[in-house]
Structure 1
């Protein structure tokens, strides 16, 4: 039971509590923030659409949770918006107060063998973030499918200046998997760079989280399991974590 409690406590501190539904409203974002119980632990960030960054900031401030960061997504979810639009939405999101930008790479271009376009999206997004926001790069590992492409996408993200490399949008049939996580973490480790990792989509329970934490610990070591370098992107994980912690 103690191990389960420890995993739950760690998982909440590494969570990007997420709501990215096309039907989201301001009141949905308010409910999301209200679901945080500071006595049981607070997430590292909340992740919402750019239109709701202001709402999330206000709702967090009202609950004295200003330390919780606000993340948003760009080029989401299909990864095929023109670069000029992506940079524009990045700059607007930062003006709204976004602390972190989760960029979807043009992964279909990568599948077609076009690495330079992918690198340009990452580099230009990093430039737009400058020192004002962290860049988390979503490679959509479930669509890349093969280890070689997942490794290539991870390496391009690192080369382009990503602060984190993230598995998935959560909007495709296959999202975070332990197999893809192993490939991505191995590429990060081999690069020798300090780059974070985010598992998103499908991590729903403390038992799920435990497997990711154990795998990450085995590749990257204990010190990597902090919010600066490891995140879970999740919408339903929080309630399971709180159930464990309440017991």
Structure 2
């Protein structure tokens, strides 16, 4: 590994967002995920969990002395339905449970049918629930939107409605993060002066795969912009590869 690659791997570690979002997750798995978030080389940026495990994740991380690791709670996950009130209720409950960020799945099927208003109103309603220090992430499900113009429209609408981050995908569909979608999202963010963050998620498993997305943000916005306040790599399996790259683990994994 070159000195530059090592520097990028160390940066990646602090941008990572670990998730436990399968239907069969247990308290034990979520607690273990929180423990994995703390490494000898520093903590990851966040853990992402369902509403029912939000309090457990926050309490576990606090007990481990990792208050800096954010807890992200998903809403409207994973299907991105159109009714707004149930999503708002999920957001409110997650904030009460201690979530630092809300990851709301955009109603992408509505947009596919020509309805962009529902997505805009849902984001605005969820954003209004969030105090200033709480972040709202909007997962666009770009693999299902597919059409570059639809992806751009979703990005622009989400940013206008108040999203603090836009995210590629839930990781639950056939097509997840792609460089093409990431490029469209980056340009939409650049149009508003880099005021919105970006998350790459879904199918990113290796250091080399993650490096593609990391370099895209660095090239467009500069190295100083690339912090966990602006960029996340939502990929639990990536942690092991990053630690292997940094010589902290044997190649058998983490």
User: What is the rounded CA distance, in whole Å, between the counterparts of 1:111 and 1:161 in structure 2?
Assistant: 21
Kept after mapping to 1: 8 A contact 2:80/2:107? yes
Equivalent residues of 1:73, 1:101 under 8 A apart: yes
Q: Write out aligned runs for 1:22-33 (5 A).
A: 22-33=23-34
Normalized against structure 1, the TM-score is what?
A: 0.97
Quick one: distance in 1 between partners of 2:194 and 2:180?
21
Post-superposition Cα deviations, 1:54-105, rounded to whole Å, max 9, x if no partner, equal 1111211221111101001101111115211000000000000000000111
User: Is the CA contact 1:205–1:240 (under 8 Å) kept in the aligned structure 2?
Assistant: yes
Shift of the alpha carbon at 1:132? 4.9
Asked whether the equivalents of residues 48 and 71 of structure 1 are also in contact (C-alpha less than 8 Å), the reply is yes
Look up the match of 2:122: 121
Moved over 2 A (4+): none
Equivalent residues in 2 for 1:222-241 (5 A)?
222-241=223-242
Specify the alignment match of 1:51 in structure 2: 52
Please give the residue correspondences for 1:16-95 in structure 2 after superposition, counting only pairs within 5 Å: 16-80=17-81, 82-95=83-96
| Structure 1 residue aligned with 2:252 | none
Q: Deviations over 1:201-231 (max 9, x none)?
A: 1111111111111111111221221001000
Match of 1:173 in 2: 174
Q: For the Cα contact (< 8 Å) 1:40–1:245, is it kept in 2?
A: no
> Are 1:7 and 2:8 counterparts?
yes
Q: How many residues align?
A: 247
Superposed CA RMSD in Å reads 1.2
Partner SS for 2:114 = coil
TM-score normalised by length of structure 2:
0.94
CA distances 1:149-196 after superposition (whole Å, capped 9, x unpaired): 010000001100010010101000011111100011011101235000
SS at match of 2:99: coil
1-structure distance, mates of 2:244, 2:187 = 33
